[in-house]
Chains A and B, each alone.
Chain A
Amino acid sequence: MTTIPIPTLPVSKRISRWFGRNIIRIYAVIGFTYLFIPVFYTIAFSFNNAGKSNLIWKGFTFSNWKNPCGAPDVCNALGNSLKIGVLATFVATVLGTLIAFAIGRHAFRGRATTNLLIFLPMATPEVVLGSSLLAMFLTFHINPGFWPTVAAHVMFCISFVVVTVKARIASLDPRLEQAAMDLYANERETFRRVTLPLVMPGIAGAALLAFSLSFDDFIITNFNSGTMNTFPKFVWVSAARGIPAQANVIGSSMFLIALFVVVVGQLVNRKKAR
C-alpha cells in the first residue's frame, strides 16, 4: 500500500495564515475586553469591603448590596434621577414622536429650518447647553432645581427621539399601509392598527435612549439643578474623597437592569418577527 504524501505547509506559514483569516475576530475579542474592563471594575468594587473610600480593594462583602442606601444621600440622589428621567423621557418621547411623524409623513414649508433646529442641539456641546440655560434662568429670576432640570433634559432628549423614530418611519414598507387602505380601513384606523404598531419598536427604543441619556446626564444637570442632588452629581461630589461602594451597587444594578430590558426587547421583537 502506498501512501500519498499530503503536502503540508510549514508551521510558521500556517500560523500566519490563521492569523490573517482571524485577525478581525482576534481584534474583536481584544476590543470587547477593553470595553468591559471598567464595567468589571465597577461591579467588582461594589463587593468591596471598603468603608468610606472605595479606591483600593480591601476584601469581599455582600453588605453593600444588602444595604444599597447605606451611604448618606445616595438613594435620595437616585430617586431624583429616576423621577427626572421618567418625566423627561415621557415628555420628550411624545413631543419627539409627533415631530418625527410630521417630518416623516408630511409635506410642509419650513422643513429645512425644522431639521436644523433638530440637529443643532445635538451639535452643541453640553457645557454650552447647560450654561446658556442657567444664564437664562438667572436672567428671568427662575431658581435652578427640579423643574428647570426636567425642562433641560426634555430639550436635549427631543432631538434623539426624533432621529430614532424618524429612522423607523422611513424604514416602513408603504405597501403595508396601502394594503390596509385596500381593505377598507380609513386613515385613522390604518394609523392606529397598522402604522403605529409598526413604529412602536422605534418609539420604545427612543424612550429607552432618552431615559439613559437623562439618567446619565451630568454636565447640563450640574448647571441647572441648583442644590438638588442627582446620582451623577452624587458620584461627582464624592469622587474627590472616595466614592462609597453603594454608588457602585447602583451603577452595577443599572447596568444589569438595562441589559435585561434590552435582551427582553430583542426576544420580544424576534417572537413578533416570526
Chain B
Amino acid sequence: MAYLQSTVTRTGFFTAKKGRLPYLLLFPGMLWLFTFFVLPIINLAGTSTQTPVASGETGQYVQTFRLANYIDAFNQARPQFARSFLYATLATLLALAISYPLAYAIAFRSGKFKNILLVLVVAPFFTSFLLRTVAWKQILGEQGFVVPALRSMHIIGQNTSLTASALAVVTGMTYNFLPFMTLPLYASLERIDPRTLEASNDLYANGITTFRKVTFPLSMPGVVAGTLLTFIPAAGDYVNAAILGNPNTTMIGNVIDSRFFNIVDYPTAASLSFMLMAAILILVTIYIRRSGTDELV
C-alpha cells in the first residue's frame, strides 16, 4: 500500500478533458472534509480562547478571546507534552528498527512467499487495537512469560515488574503502530531495482556499503512515510498510556481526554489539542523538507 507516495501520472486521455467534471467529482467528498474536519478545527480555535461564565456553572463558557489560555494550558501539561514527544520518538525508532529488516526480508528474500508474508505482517492488526494492548498487559504482567524469564536470568530484580511503567507504554505503542511503519517501508524497498544493488556489488562495494550507499537512500521515501505514520498517532495516543502505564506516564492525549470528560474544561482541552496539532504539523513540515521528500504531500 503505497500511501502518500503515489505520484500522479498525467497520461491517459481523461486528463486532457477540462471543465466541470473534476469539480463535480471532488465536491461531495471535499464538502464532507470541510464540514467534519475544517469547520471543527476552526470551531476548536474559537473554543480554545473561551472563559467560564460569570455564574460559574460547570461546562458553560463564553468567548473572551483569552489567548493566555494557551500559556496556562501549556504550563499545566508540560510534563505530558514532553512525555508524548519522548515516547512517540522512542516508539517510532523502535518500530523502524523492528520493521526495516522485516520489510527488507519480505521485499528481497521471500521469493514466492512474498504475498503470504505480507498478509502475515498485517494480520495481527486485524484483532482489535484495544485487545492487543490488553494482551500486552497480560504478556508483561506477573502471570506472563516475560517477567519470570527475565527474573530467572537475573536481568530484572525479584520485585521489579514490567507493567504500569513507561517501558510497557513504549512497548505497546511500538507494537500497535508497527504496520504503519512496515507497509510504506516494504512499498519503497520493493520498488528498488535489484540491478542497482548488483551494480553496487560489481563496483566492489561490500554488503554494508551497498546498504548504506544504495539501498537505504533509495528506501528513504518509505522511511519518511513510515516514521510519520507511526509518530503522529503515537504522539496523540492515550490508550497505551492508560492501559499499560501509571499516573506518572500520562501523555497529552490523557490530559485532553480527562479535561473533556472528567472536568468538562473545554477551553483547556481545546487549546491543548490545538497546540498538539500545531506542534506536529511544524515537526512534520520540517522533517519532510529536511529529508527532501516533498512528493509525500
Chain A residues packing against B (C-beta within 8 Å)? 24-25, 27-28, 31-32, 34-39, 41-42, 45, 55-57, 91, 95-96, 98-99, 101-108, 114-129, 131-136, 138-139, 151-152, 154-155, 158-160, 162-164, 166-167, 170-172, 174, 177-178, 181, 187, 191, 205, 209, 212, 216, 218-219, 222-223, 231-232, 235-236, 239, 243, 247-248, 250-252, 254-255, 258-259, 262-263, 266
B33 touches A121 (CB 8 A): yes
Q: Interface readout for B180-216 with A: 1 if CB under 8 Å, 0 if not?
A: 0000000000000000000000000000000000000
A-B contact pairs, 15 of them (CB 8 A): A32-B121, A34-B175, A105-B15, A122-B232, A123-B284, A125-B232, A127-B257, A154-B36, A159-B33, A166-B8, A218-B129, A218-B130, A222-B257, A235-B131, A248-B131
Chain B residues packing against A (C-beta within 8 Å)? 1-18, 21-23, 25-26, 28-30, 32-41, 43-44, 46-47, 98, 101-102, 104-106, 108-109, 115, 117, 119-132, 134-139, 141, 143, 175, 178, 228-229, 232-233, 235-239, 243, 252-253, 256-257, 260, 266, 269-270, 273-274, 276-277, 280-281, 284, 297
A residues less than 8 Å from B21 (CB atoms): 102, 106
A residues less than 8 Å from B175 (CB atoms): 34, 38
CA separation between A259 and B127, bound complex, in Å? 10
CB distance from A50 to the nearest CB of B (A): 12
A residues less than 8 Å from B236 (CB atoms): 125-128, 219
Closest 5 CB pairs between A and B? Answer: A125-B236, A95-B29, A106-B22, A258-B126, A102-B25
CA separation between A246 and B281, bound complex, in Å? 40
Q: Main SS of chain A's interface residues?
A: helix
With A125-B253, A235-B128 given, name 16 new contacts (CB 8 A): A25-B105, A38-B127, A42-B127, A106-B22, A119-B4, A127-B256, A127-B257, A127-B273, A128-B44, A128-B273, A128-B277, A151-B32, A170-B8, A174-B12, A243-B134, A251-B128
B10 touches A107 (CB 8 A): yes
CA separation between A152 and B141, bound complex, in Å? 35
If A106-B22, A223-B260 touch, whether A170 touches B6 (CB-CB below 8 Å) is yes
A residues less than 8 Å from B239 (CB atoms): 218-219, 236
CB distance from B17 to the nearest CB of A (A): 7
A261: nearest residue on chain B (CB-CB)? Answer: B126
A20: nearest residue on chain B (CB-CB)? Answer: B207
**B40 is contacted by which of A24, A120, A125, A135 (Cβ under 8 Å)?**
A135
Q: Main SS of chain B's interface residues?
A: helix
A98 touches B37 (CB 8 A): no
**B269 is contacted by which of A101, A131, A187 (Cβ under 8 Å)?**
A131
B270: nearest residue on chain A (CB-CB)? Answer: A135
| Max chain A C-beta neighbours (<10 A), residue from B33, B138, B232, B233 | B33
| Max chain A C-beta neighbours (<10 A), residue from B11, B134, B297 | B134
